[in-house]
Amino acid sequence: MPYSGALSSGSSQGVDNPALVAAVTARVAALRAADPGKTQPVPVDLVTASASGLDPHISRAAALYEAPRVARLRGLPAARLQALIDRHTESRVLGFLGEPRVNVLQMNLELAAPRP
């Protein structure tokens, strides 16, 4: 089936909704299972979704949390992935709104591009 952004929508589940709590709990468990040696807290944006689910950004904390596993699975040196995270980190909007974030879409496109 071809991609259609029109099919995306938020869940409209509040923080006290048992379905949301169960989904977040399952996502944390999946991340822990994927990297059992990791003991640091899971960044919240790895287990929740943006309103549309289409946001191409994650927090730097999320990118750094995932970096060792991504580097291992892609067979990349950790330093190269760290450099990519640094290069694709965007500053706060207007210098004060929001938090620094990593554009994962652009980072993945660079990872997928053939290397000279």
Q: What is the pLDDT of residue 96?
A: 87
29's tokens: 């468990």
76's tokens: 């990349």
What are the sequence ranges of the domains in the chain?
16-112
The span from the CA of 85 to the CA of 19, in Å, is 33
Residues 6+ apart with CB under 8 A from 73: none
**Does residue 62 surpass a pLDDT of 90?**
yes
Residues 6+ apart with CB under 8 A from 42: 28, 31, 32, 65
- How do residues 2-28 score in pLDDT, each as one tens digit? 666 665 556 677 788 888 889 899 999
Q: What is the pLDDT of residue 87?
A: 95
Q: What is the pLDDT of residue 30?
A: 94
| CA proximity to 74, closest of 36, 114, 111, 115 | 111
What percent of the chain is modeled with pLDDT above 70?
Answer: 84
